[in-house]
Chain A
Amino acid sequence: MSATTAPVSRYLPQRRKWMGSLLHHVIVAGLGFVMIYPLLWMFASSFKAPSEIWTNITSLVPQHFTLDNYANGWKGFGGITFTTFYINSFIYAFFGTLAAVTTSAVVAFGFSRIPFKGRAFWFTCMLMTLMLPAQVTIIPQYIVFSKLGLLNTFWPLILPRLGGQAFFIFLIMQFIRGIPHELDEAAEIDGCNKLSIFTRIMLPLISPALITSAIFSFYWTWEDFLSPVVYLNNPKLYTISLALRSFADPSATTDWGAVFAMSSLSLVPVFILFIAFQRYLVEGISTTGLKG
């Protein structure tokens, strides 16, 4: 039940409840349209014929509805189609997310629940890695991977995530720290070691944080282009984000219809993932029984 409306509505007459619900919908839906307008615009443009993309740019309705943009866009480059780019992006996003979220959870537990010497120092180091822009570290990192002989593979994209990512580690830590220590202590008295406390008690409790991390991680890897640009040479290894960028050079002839069509399509997996997982954030595994 809603935390904010349910207990109050208990004391209100039915009509006011109905009115309140309508108002809620009007506000939320109106704001929702503003939020989604950019996507509608891009989607509409993807159905416009090449001659009207720029000349009929403001309209949300194509004058000549066409699906050609999708057919032309999917062809990709010189026989390498978007099927390839989708597979590559899925490989990167799936393994990148799996690596980042699982290890981040392990590391976060270590930082937040186990007192050890140097904890504050390493935590500070971890935060610092977030404060240096990739633009100045990418070249030395490239040289490291070049010496490892891993250029033109997915390893340079996935390996750094295998150690967990500072953002997710810190996020999961904040959720773990909201969980009472009594639970750990009780479990320890029951004979659990740290690892089983983590796997059997913590993991279920922090599932909202894990799901949030997974959604972010998937999206961030999906849209990441700096690492693919630098590490992937063979177009057969290109990801969606890189392929999309390769479509359009401002100074050269560009098939903008195809750009809009493929950009719209590229959002679909991210969107589906979000819709599939978001309900766990609100209806997910309940923690209420364990808290308090």
Chain B
Amino acid sequence: MSNARSMTTWLRLIALALVALVALACGGGGTATAPAQQQPAQQPAQQQPAQQAPAAKGPVEIRVAWWGSQDRHDRTIKAIELFMKKNPDIKVTYEFAVWDDYWTKMTTQAAGNSLPDVMQQDYAYIDEWFKRGLLAPLDDYVSSGAINLKDASEEFYKGGRVQGKLVAINLGSNSPSFGLDVDAFKKAGIAIPSDNWTWPEFEKIATDLHTKLGIWGFGHDLANDQMWKSIYFSAGEWAYTDDGKKIGYASDKILVDYLNMILRLQKAGVTPSRAEAQATYVGKPVEQLAIVTGKSAMDFFHSNQIIAVWKAAGENRNIKMVALPRQPGGKSANYIKPSQFFSVTSQSKQKEAAAKFIDFITNDVEANEILAAERGVPISSKVRDALKPKLGKAQVEMFDYVDRVAKDVQPIKPPDPAGHTDIVKNIWGPQVVDQVLFEKTTPEKAAALLRDEATKILAK
């Protein structure tokens, strides 16, 4: 038995144990000095300038976070580089992810008190995030002119208000739409409907398209929760009351009629069955919509998504967007929706610089040429005018559509209440539309259940 050898191994083991012990000891130390450590997470090398900032007038550092895909990451990074060039006193670090990962990341950072200075936000979340004290109101920056909204009409940014305070700046405007395959309509000899068409007209057109072309008249997705809001919106109501504490409509009849209609369309084969839709379309990439592969003549998507849809379908196709159908004799079912926002978080220590960055993204023409309206139609009219000559086919359609429907839209309703995601994910999807479309329950019962369960969630 070689003693020297076993000695070496012993030493290695002890070293290993020591390393682990040191890690443990550091853990205790870290907890004790926790308040000092509770700053936004930064690389050690980058931490210094940020800490010097308040004292000296050195460069400040801000963190920016967003969700999206490669295209958006590339454009946003380039815009950030331009910002740093124009503002050498501000250093911007950034982080990005896709939707699911982004919210996992942000939620965790919120819990760890390490949120970035500027975060991309969504209409479904700003209410909850603001009420939990995680977003900073921006009204002071707007009135001081740090964030210039003079070139934007109120209609385009009021979606960022919660409880009367502006907590998020719209990065691009959107409106829900039905995308139409113009060539399919021509082939079937059916006229393109106008923006004030109604649901009965829609049902007839979709059915005619199906019988004449043998493809689906409409692909996906009539069971979207956006439809639930829009059918009531057209009737002058909304899914929720303005304070978000109750269901906002008096009678279930509109919903019941609507559910009956989509059930009829499904049975007639005008739309894919719920089984087919869920397997292939619901929650899947916009590039996979049936209209792309020519399996349907119409599809539902938000206006900024037409760029992705058209790109996947091919440049030689013709796609047109029209507004959502209305209730017979009703108002417009559309509103101008912020596709996504930038917000300044309350955990930010550099709110001035963060506001400056948001102002840059909103108003700088050069930056918006890089961003190319990928997040939707920019809110500043100056930016829009500068971009118009440089647009591609799909972007032209997007600008046109938003311009067109903007003339007749109703004002946007307050952001979704905190329970909205819970209602949509746990009630609307699995317990209402699925049950109806798989014919496990009747529209009447489903609508009543939605009212009961949503009322319970909203009351919390």
Which residues of A line the B interface, CB within 8 A? 50-51, 53-55, 57, 77-79, 103, 106, 138-139, 142-144, 146-149, 151-153, 159, 162-163, 190-193, 195-196, 199, 225-226, 229-230, 233-235, 242, 245-256, 258
Quick check: B292 and A55 within 8 Å, CB to CB?
yes
Knowing A196-B1, A254-B69, the reply to whether A248 touches B63 (Cβ < 8 A) is no
Which of B203-211, B279-287, B437-445 interfaces with chain A?
A: B279-287
In the complex, the chain B residue whose C-beta lies closest to that of A80 is B77
Taking a contact as CB atoms closer than 8 A, the residue among A235, A251, A255 that contacts B96 in the complex is: A235
If over half of B's interface residues share one DSSP class (helix, strand or loop), that class is named, otherwise mixed; here it is helix
**How far apart sit A128 and B283, CA to CA, in the bound complex (Å)?**
35
| Nearest CB in chain A: distance from B311 CB, A | 6
CB pair A251 B71 closer than 8 Å? no
Complex CA distance for A234 and B92, rounded to whole angstroms: 11
Does B78 count as interface, using CB distance less than 8 angstroms? yes
Chain A residues with CB below 8 A from B314, complex form: 51, 55
List 14 additional A-B contacts (Cβ < 8 Å) besides A55-B293, A246-B101. Answer: A51-B314, A77-B96, A78-B81, A143-B112, A147-B34, A153-B44, A196-B9, A199-B6, A233-B41, A246-B98, A247-B69, A248-B70, A253-B374, A258-B70
The number of residues on chain B lying at the interface, defined by a beta carbon within 8 Å of a beta carbon of chain A, is: 69
Q: A-B pairs with the 6 shortest C-beta distances?
A: A78-B77, A151-B41, A253-B308, A77-B73, A148-B30, A249-B69
Q: Which of A54, A162, A234 contacts B293 (CB 8 A)?
A: A54
Residue from A53, A54, A78, A191 having most chain B Cβ neighbours under 10 A: A78
A39 CA to B368 CA, complexed, in Å = 40
B68 contacts the other chain (Cβ, under 8 Å)?
A: yes
Taking the closest CB of chain A, its distance from the CB of B200, in whole angstroms, is 30
B301 shortest CB reach to chain A, Å = 9
Whether B251 is near chain A, meaning CB under 8 Å from some CB there, is no
Taking CB atoms, residues of chain A closer than 8 Å to B26 are 148
Given A250-B285, A254-B71, also A230-B108 (CB < 8 A): yes
A249: chain B residues within 8 A (beta carbon): 67-69, 72, 98-99
Query: Please, how many angstroms separate the alpha-carbon atoms of A103 and B109 in the complex?
Result: 31
Q: How far is the CB of B20 from chain A (nearest CB, A)?
A: 7
The interface residues of chain B lying within 8 Å CB-to-CB of A143 are 111-112
**B74 in the interface (beta carbon within 8 A):** yes
CB <8 Å contact, A250 and B112 = no
1/0 per residue B1-42: CB within 8 Å of A?
100011001100100100110010011001100100110011
The CA of A192 and the CA of B2, in the complex, are separated in Å by 9
Q: How far is the CB of B327 from chain A (nearest CB, A)?
A: 28
CA distance A139 to B95 in the complex (A): 19
Whether, in the assembled complex, B43 has its beta carbon less than 8 Å from a beta carbon of chain A, the answer is yes
